[in-house]
Amino acid sequence: MGGAGATALHAGCETHMKTIISVSNLTKHYGSFEAVKGISFEVKEGEIFGLLGPNGAGKSTTLEIMETLRAKTSGKVVIDGFDLDQQPHEIKKVIGVQLQTSGFYPGLNLRELIEMFGGLYNQRVDPLELLQLVNLQDKAKAKYKELSGGQKQRFSIATTLINKPRIVFLDEPTTGLDPQARRNLWELVKRIRSEGTTVIITTHYMDEAEVLCDRVAIMDAGKIIAIDSPDALIDHLVASGFERPKEMKKANLEDVFIHLTGHALRED
């Protein structure tokens, strides 16, 4: 499960991995409603960290606070050594946030959009190189609205990389995608991590978290109720005596689907 990061964690190297995000006692109130109820966690440099949980758990709120896009109620957030309260502008420089590309500048093609965002970030960026990374090199002259769902998500992820961030935040990047497009996006996330970038991803797909994340925090109703590697969480459950009601087959329907229809993307 997971990648190199997970292996390193299992080898007991946690103490050698640098903490790149530290969240302590974070709360967020919307009026009298407590959406985030005092959560604490750390993210290590170079890992894919998952925030899991059902709808309404508080994942997006937590993510947007770390992204400096939403004000917290209380608690402490430190990102790459910068305190959210003191140096939000420094944080903005080291993080990649999915920009809202839909609806904006409908006249621009993908290449032009990247150039424009590069200008906003004051970054020199090679649009074709970036499009190649997300496998959209053939779509450089296409408009955003002409892309399939998977292509839109990959473009959106490309925009997070424009400022060469140390940390990328992805909020449910695979929701609504077909199985091929989901797998393709997992590969992209792994590729981004393999270049040393830390990835924080939210999802409510457990299969996705299991193959992708080195560690996950499970949120429910504004609290973190478990945090560990997927393997360790599963082992813990099994050790507690849990057994599946019936023996699982060695494949599931999604395996059948992918076996029959292939891994190739069907979006063009």
Binding site for Mg ion (CB under 5 A): 59-60
Q: Alpha-carbon distance 27 to 262, whole Å?
A: 44
- In the complex, least distance from residue 267 CB atom to ligand ADP, rounded to whole angstroms: 26
60 near ligand ADP, rule: CB under 6 A: yes
Given the rule CB under 6 A, which of 29-37, 78-86, 106-114, 121-129 is the region that contacts ligand ADP? 29-37
Name residues contacting ligand ADP, limited to 155-214 (CB under 6 A): none
One of 3, 53, 127, 165 touching ligand ADP (CB under 6 A): 53
Residues in the chain: 268
Any bridge partners for residue 199, and if so which? 48, 168
Contact between 51 and 201 (Cβ < 8 Å)? yes
Q: Which does 56 bind (CB under 5 to 8 A by kind): ligand ADP, Mg ion, none?
A: ligand ADP
Q: Alpha-carbon distance 100 to 156, whole Å?
A: 8
Tell me whether residue 62 or residue 160 sits nearer to ligand ADP (CB atom).
62
Residues 6+ positions from 10 with CB-CB distance below 8 Å:
229, 231
- In the complex, least distance from residue 142 CB atom to Mg ion, rounded to whole angstroms: 28
What value, to the nearest 5°, has the Cα angle with vertex 267 and ends 262 and 268? 110
Q: Which does 233 bind (CB under 5 to 8 A by kind): Mg ion, ligand ADP, none?
A: none
Q: Alpha-carbon distance 151 to 158, whole Å?
A: 10
Q: What are the residues binding ligand ADP (CB under 6 A)?
A: 30, 33, 35, 53, 55-61
